[in-house]
Amino acid sequence: MDRIELSKNVSGLISELSPYRSFVEQELTKIESLTEDLHSDIEQAAKEGRKLRIGVVGQVKSGKSSFLNALIFGGTGILPKAATPMTAALTVIEHAPNIKATIEFYTKEDWDTIEKAARDWDIQAKDIEKRMLEAPSSPFGSKDAPVTKEQIKAAIDREIPDDIKASKELVDMAQRSNIDLKAHLGQKEELIGLSSLEDLMGKLQEYVGSNGRFTPIVRNTTISSNVPEMEGIEIVDTPGINDPVISRGRLTKKRIGECDVVFVLSQCSQFIDSVDLELLVQNLPAKGISKIILIGSQVDATLIGEKQKHSSLPKLMKGVVSGLEKRVEDLLENLIKKSRNEEEREILMNIKANPPVFVSSMAYAMSVHFDYMDEEEAHFLQLYNNLYPDKYSFDRTLLEDFSNISRTRAILEEVKSEKDEILANRLMDIEKGASVAFTSNLNNLIEKTEIMYKKIKTNDIATLEKQSMEITNRLKRGRNHIENAFDDAITGLNKKMEILKTEIKEISLEYKKIETKENTRTEEYKVNALKWWNPFSWWNSSKTEQREIVSRYANIHDAVEQVECFAITTEKRIKEEMANIIDLPKMQNSINNGVIKLFDMSDTSFDPDDILFPLKKTINSISIPSIDFGDNDYGGKISSQFSGDKVEDSNIDSLIKAQKNAIAEVLGDMSSAVESKAEEISSTLKKHRDSFLENILANIEKDLEETRRALQEKNKTLEAIENISNIVRTYI
């Protein structure tokens, strides 16, 4: 249906259902929100002479800012890396004759919400600390050892939700910076009179830099630049689709909905995980965004971790890229088979038809700064050169080719050349997306009314309450069936973690080899030439002879590179394992089956929907936290102990020891990360386990209360539900 028909249908549905709003309040609110977004998106899309809007989205730390610095700003770090996911700002980049930036701070209402969440952090942190200090540390009720501050801190980080942690961090940063909040909240600041992009970069540090004074209170920025690449387009750089700051996340969602084209960035080390899939399958299609380009970011880290499997750089790149492309192709093929409608299928087919592009923004920055690299860039150049030291040495040209940014630029230019066609189709795409979302809401509404009608038609209040009590008692008696599914997942998690730690130790053995080489040099030396039987030698008592000196040496850079490769390989392996550490569908099926076994499904008086519907809602709330690693310069701890690029003879043992210590440190850090994440995931599962039954019962009680109210006027309610169902069906 076109936008006029869709808008008319939505308005008509809301109008017709308004007398029955008390029955379908939640569903109508969603549809009204859909209508508001539809009108806003259409209004933006229909503007005459507007620019092509391109969104750059991806999870936190997927390298969006570095990618844009390479793609648009020629490798200059205009868009700084955020200190943490909490401080990343939404950024709009546009073309203008003069360079400037507009800074928008959080509103007072935004900040009040953030401060309230920060206070919640204080309360929850105190409760966690109190619980841990008072709880016995052994199953027999005695305290074997006092709880440490580190254990309390780890529990706080593990148990408090990300949005509350984010708010606490922002408030603490603002307090440390001694910002006059009254003077800035709800205000804008303009940075003007700038002579160059470098000048802009310096001024922006105060507002969006990792140590910027105003960074914690900046909600979004607009950068106006005169670079030719921006002509005719506008770019939206998002903080991350898993943004922990709720108010900023809402603004991001709104701005992404206004985009015509979207570049989706995903780290190659965990390419296209569940968060990325949700974005591709649900969020973007619902907004009518059909032009989607997949970018695999930070491909260099994956290449470094895979180098031992391939004999040359071309084979390495081909092997890694082919593997990643195959993964995406299989994922999309599976999603296409499961697509719920033709529109979703069409979008997935379009994505599949355009293979992802794999880039290294770091390699591009190194090619630009080749003669004046910073410490981080020089370090990566060393890692690159040590991939195949006898065959390849990275110069400016090879780095630029390796980065693949030129391919991405070509895609950008292609997108720009299709501007008129994309804009012409945009309204139709918005209509498609909104139509799919509208139909999905209607189907959910029909499902709800059918269940409600059946309950009320076949029951009275006394019968319903009796059935509810029976369900509650059965669930309570069968608590073990439910908890076993969680316990099995936790046991499986711990086994996998132990195997992973052993695997990491085995991997470390491959990186403890320091190759020693021999160096032969000729040395001259004098010997006594005096011979008692030769009087002529008495006036020339010495002569010069030669001898060969053989020494052993080892390259320091090789040792550093081995440590760095071990760290990268291990991190990649851990992330791969973490992506599938818990088989959620299997666990959910186990829970589902465990609950179903508690009931006699052949009993005609029992309606399975009475338990399956609230069970489905509760199961869908289960999620597993992701893993992240800090930045550690393990190789630097070796190079700082030696001067020059090689060591000889007795110093080789010192290098071997330094490398062994560095690898042991990597091993220790990674093992600790695995243990910490295992504990966090285990804690998450235990929280779900301990509250799961109560959540099901709460959902059952909520449904019962709605039905109880409806049964008080049974005939009137049945008539209303029937009317709702009939009205909704006319719009599908």
For residue 265, what is the DSSP state?
A: E
Give the dihedral sign, CA 583/585/591/594: negative
Residues 91 and 190 in one domain: yes
Residue among 319, 320, 329, 322 nearest 301 (CA): 320
- Counting every residue, how long is the chain? 732
Cα angle vertex 466, ends 463, 469, to 5°?
150
Residues 476 and 612 in one domain: yes
For residue 107, what is the DSSP state?
A: P
Residues 679 and 540 in one domain: no
Q: Are 234 and 68 in contact (CB under 8 A)?
A: no
690 CB contacts (<8 Å, ≥6 apart)? Answer: none
Residue 535 lies in a domain: yes
151 CB contacts (<8 Å, ≥6 apart)? Answer: 132
Residues 527 and 620 in one domain: no
Residues 486 and 589 in one domain: yes
Residues 62 and 100 in one domain: yes
Q: Which pLDDT score is estimated for 535?
A: 52
Q: Domain boundary residue among 552, 574, 598? A: 552
Residues 172 and 53 in one domain: yes
Residues 477 and 622 in one domain: yes
Measured CA to CA, the distance from residue 367 to residue 397 in angstroms comes to 7
Residue 664 lies in a domain: yes
Query: What is the pTM (predicted TM-score) of this model?
Result: 0.64
Q: Domain boundary residue among 199, 221, 250? A: 250
The boundaries of the domain holding residue 548 are: 519-552
Cα angle vertex 325, ends 572, 285, to 5°?
100
Q: Domain boundary residue among 222, 250, 278? A: 250
Residues 161 and 99 in one domain: yes
What is each CA distance from 672 to 409, 667, 675, 706, in whole angstroms? Answer: 41, 8, 5, 49
Pairing of strands 90-95, 233-237: antiparallel
Q: What is the pLDDT of residues 86-139, one digit of tens each?
A: 556 788 999 999 999 999 999 898 899 889 989 999 999 998 888 888 765 444
Residues 525 and 495 in one domain: no
Residue 601 lies in a domain: yes
Q: What is the pLDDT of residues 437-468, one digit of tens each?
A: 788 888 888 888 888 788 777 777 777 777 77
Residue 695 lies in a domain: yes
In 510-620, which ranges are continuous DSSP H helix? 556-579, 584-596, 609-619
Structure tokens at 644: 């020059």
Residue 24 lies in a domain: no
Unique residue bearing structure tokens 């260099």: 300
Residues 524 and 648 in one domain: no
Q: Which pLDDT score is estimated for 709?
A: 74
Unique residue bearing structure tokens 């073309």: 95
Residue 707 lies in a domain: yes
Residue 263 lies in a domain: no
Q: Are 483 and 689 in contact (CB under 8 A)?
A: yes
Q: Are 272 and 327 in contact (CB under 8 A)?
A: yes
Q: Which pLDDT score is estimated for 617?
A: 62
Q: Which pLDDT score is estimated for 421?
A: 85
What 3-state DSSP class applies to 171?
Answer: helix
Residue ranges of the chain whose pLDDT lies below 70? 1-4, 48, 82-88, 135-145, 240-249, 274-279, 281-283, 285-286, 340-341, 343-344, 478, 521, 523-547, 549-550, 579-580, 584-585, 588, 595, 598-633, 639, 643-645
Q: Are 34 and 10 in contact (CB under 8 A)?
A: yes
Residues 662 and 534 in one domain: no
Q: Which pLDDT score is estimated for 105?
A: 93
Give the dihedral sign, CA 675/679/681/685: positive
Residue 13 lies in a domain: no
Pairing of strands 218-225, 90-95: parallel
- Give the Cβ contact number of residue 173 at 10 Å: 21
Domain count, the chain: 3
